[in-house]
Structure 1
């Protein structure tokens, strides 16, 4: 059954909601900057019993906040953002249930099986999440790295979803073209994930109301979970409340 999954997005040391496709070295278009720190949100999610959420560090200057969040909700949050084979164990030891990896898996914009093997030796498949965040192309979707600015040649398709599922515990997939826009989910992508993912998968991008939880549930036959960011009241949104999401999860547990 489709579940709501919470998030904490960190940019320049602050909890923010941004337009994903705008992120670059100079900054990003911001939808919301919170007056609260990452520890506050981690504690809130822990108090409400919300599972499987993620902390994403978008660029530099976010490590201290990330570690505080993981400390506040040990084993309750996943961590992503600059994760490599060299530092993965640090975040797992700090309290992350899993680490999330994308850009490290690519060398010269090509997928590296060698790097995947290296990080698996540090995490095991059971504590590794592959972030297959992507952009639309003429042929479907391709994984986007480097803060979603570099579109690689690795497609998000049936074959790759099935093959990569053997190497991790979950997938996390941001639809970068609609991330932060509250313009509706990428229905075709959600349908594809529901058809071909054999492990847990969380989709993020474009959600704007409780109806999107129902829509993801229907399109994926309940196999895909949904992260809601900018539309959520705790991030300044007006489309859906955290209370509604918690109620949904309880109804569809």
Structure 2
């Protein structure tokens, strides 16, 4: 059954919800800036035993908040944002259950199996999440790196999902084109993920209501989990409450 997965998105040292496709070196279009720090949300998720959440650092200036969140609920939250072979172990030691990686695995725009193997040797397959966040292209979807601004040649398709599933514990996939817009999920992408879900997959992007949880459950046949950000009441949203998500997970 599809589960709600929590998140903590950090930008410029604050917990925020942004429009994913707008993120660049100058900033981002922002839906919400929290008055609370990352540890507050980590403690909230711990209180409700919300498993499988991810902490994402969107650019520099977030290290202090990342460490606060990981310390507030050790070995329960995944971390992504600038993770590479040299620092992955540090985040695991700081309390991350897994590290999440995208951009490091690409060299000159090409996927690097050598880098994947080196990273896997550092973390172990069981503590590695591959972020296959993507943008829609003429042929389907392609992995987007560098804060979703660089679209690579690597497709998110059955072949890629099958090959990479042997090298990690989970996939995290943001649909960058709809991320933060609260305009509905990318249903075709969710169907594709459900058809190829040999390991746990979390989808994020566009979710706005309890009906979207139901829809992901239906389209993926319960094989894909869903993260909800901007629409959630704890992030200033009006589409769905945390309590509704908790009730859904308890079904």
Aligned to 1:195: 195
- Return the alpha-carbon distance in structure 2 between the equivalents of residues 236 and 53 of structure 1: 19
Aligned alpha-carbon RMSD (Å): 0.3
What residue number does 2:229 align with? 229
Cα deviation code 1:153-182 (max 9, x no counterpart): 000000110000000000000000000000
* 1:157 alignment counterpart: 157
The normalised TM-score by structure 1 is 0.99
- How is 1:29-48 mapped onto 2 (pairs within 5 angstroms)? 29-48=29-48
Question: Displacement of 1:149 after TM fit?
Answer: 0.3
Deviations 1:100-129 (A, max 9, x none): 000000000100000001100110000000
Count of aligned positions: 251
Distance in 2 separating the partners of 1:153 and 1:114: 17
Q: Give unmatched runs, 5+ long, in structure 2.
A: none
Determine if the alignment matches structure 1 residue 123 to structure 2 residue 123.
yes
Match in the other structure for 1:239: 239
Query: Secondary structure of the residue that 1:229 maps to in structure 2?
Result: coil
Query: Aligned residue for 2:51?
Result: 51
CA–CA distance in 1 between the matches of 2:173 and 2:11? 19
SS at match of 2:126: helix
Stretches of 4+ aligned residues off by more than 4 angstroms? none
Aligned to 1:99: 99
| 1:73-84 correspondence to structure 2 within 5 Å | 73-84=73-84
Distance 1:76 1:164 in 2: 23
Structure 1 segments unaligned to the other structure (5+ residues):
none
Aligned to 1:2: 2
Are 1:16 and 2:16 matched, yes or no? yes
* 1:197 Cα offset (Å): 1.9
Could you tell me how far apart the structure 1 residues matched to 2:85 and 2:222 are? 33
Deviation at 1:76, TM superposition (A): 1.1
Match for residue 60 of structure 1?
Answer: 60
**CA positional deviation for 1:141:** 0.1
C-alpha distance in 1, partners of 2:90/2:14? Answer: 21
* CA shift digits 1:198-236 (9 cap, x unpaired): 000000000000000000000000000000000000000
Q: Give secondary structure in 2 for the equivalent of 1:82.
A: coil
Q: 2:163, 2:198 → 1: CA distance?
A: 10
